Homo-oligomer: A and B are copies of this chain.
Amino acid sequence: MSKKVYNFGAGPAMLPIPVMEQIQREYLDYNNMGVSVVEISHRSKEFDKLLGETDELFRELVALPKNYKILYMHGGAQMQFSAVPMNILGLKPAKKAIYIESGNFAKVAHQEASRYGEIEILASSKETNFDRIPDFDPSDINPEASYFYITSNNTVMGTRWNKIPQTGEVPLVADATSEILSRKLDFSQFGLIFAGTQKNLGPSGLAMTIIREDLLGKAMSETPKLLNYQQCEKDHSLTNTPNTFAIYVIRLVLEWLKGKGGVEAIEKINIQKSNILYDLIDKTSFYLGHSQPEHRSTMNVTFNLANGDLLETFLKEALAEGFYALKGHRAVGGARASIYNAMPIEGVQALADFMKHFEQKNG
């Protein structure tokens, strides 16, 4: 390494160091085959084993009920913004769905779904620049809706659904891209959960979609073959060549997470990590948190400096000290520390120390 760097990027994000080192070590020779894992067929017995182990590890880590299927799909989360409506809007004849607008990606997902049916926004926190998860009255849920859609963690805004909504008979669909495997979730509350892989799972270009099997088989006829959940399930995600490198890395990340004690253990660490930053923000008027305390994310901590003029200096000095990619998204401004599973507590502590020091100098 040229220097010690803590990477707070929102995604593609840092991956666990032992995983990265293993990838480097075995990059030219996977499994004593004399070839790289990126050079073997997705239909080889070695890749079949790797894929099966990835499934098993994921199932074990989230205690996935048997009636849920795991799909590895091209294109990341945004391809799922199209795939979800194409596959499950047809679950009920009205072809309607309900979306909660809790941030940027929820907006984009809603726009994309509107291409395929009548999509209602039941609640939005747009008026407060998405600083909270919007509230709604459960009795307002239209039972004719094929599904109810949330972004369970809002990467840009730094908010999270800390209470998973009850949607009754309407299947709950969640984009969990920036929080998957960060906290214990009861998957049986969801009809479908998907996550782009480039935050808590591996490199970019892929999504994992976890679907309750009774939601399969209702895709509209225009659905591209590779976006069809039933096809993907039938072919064990090998309808064509998947992003084999990403799947290989995911397997290593899951193994690493298991070694750390699994999801419950990492959840405790994630709470500790985010509390270090939120406590600092709450104790001063120098830094201002963006998200409302009861809706805070443990993965993305968004804040600004009360004196906005100092932001540029803050980001510049942070970078010089090895705190990489702290700039906030333009929709919120300010700074953002993305502290996914792979970020060690030492990195967060070092950032907090830097922030305190910066405040002392400039406060």
Q: Given A4-B34, A15-B39, are A77 and B240 neighbors across the interface (CB < 8 Å)?
A: yes
CB pair B39–A14 under 8 Å, yes or no, is: yes
Question: Complex Cα distance A44/B9, Å?
Answer: 10
By a CB distance below 8 angstroms, the chain B residues around A242 are 204-205
Q: Which listed residue, B4, B220, B241, touches A11 by the CB 8 Å rule?
A: B241
Within 8 A of B (CB), among A190-208: 196, 198, 203-206
A136 nearest CB across to chain B (Å): 27
A252 nearest CB across to chain B (Å): 12
By a CB distance below 8 angstroms, the chain B residues around A244 are 12, 203-205
Within 8 A of B (CB), among A160-200: 196, 198
Among A204, A221, A244, A322, find the residue whose CB has the most chain B CB atoms closer than 10 A. A204
Pick from A21-29, A120-128, A138-146, A303-311 the stretch touching chain B: A21-29
Interface residue tally for chain A (C-beta within 8 Å): 69
Pick from A48-56, A224-232, A274-282 the stretch touching chain B: A224-232
By a CB distance below 8 angstroms, the chain B residues around A246 are 205, 243, 245
By a CB distance below 8 angstroms, the chain B residues around A112 are 224-225
A150 in contact (CB, < 8 A): no
Pick from A57-65, A79-87, A93-101, A265-273 the stretch touching chain B: A79-87
A204 nearest CB across to chain B (Å): 4
Q: Given A75-B226, A82-B226, A245-B245, are A20 and B28 neighbors across the interface (CB < 8 Å)?
A: yes
CB pair B198–A241 under 8 Å, yes or no, is: yes
CB pair A206–B205 under 8 Å, yes or no, is: yes
Q: Is the interface of A mostly helix, strand, loop or mixed?
A: loop
A226 nearest CB across to chain B (Å): 5
By a CB distance below 8 angstroms, the chain B residues around A196 are 240-241
By a CB distance below 8 angstroms, the chain B residues around A115 are 221-222
A32 in contact (CB, < 8 A): yes
A10 in contact (CB, < 8 A): yes
CB pair A78–B240 under 8 Å, yes or no, is: yes
A285 in contact (CB, < 8 A): no
By a CB distance below 8 angstroms, the chain B residues around A225 are 78, 81-82, 112
CB pair A2–B227 under 8 Å, yes or no, is: no
A283 in contact (CB, < 8 A): no
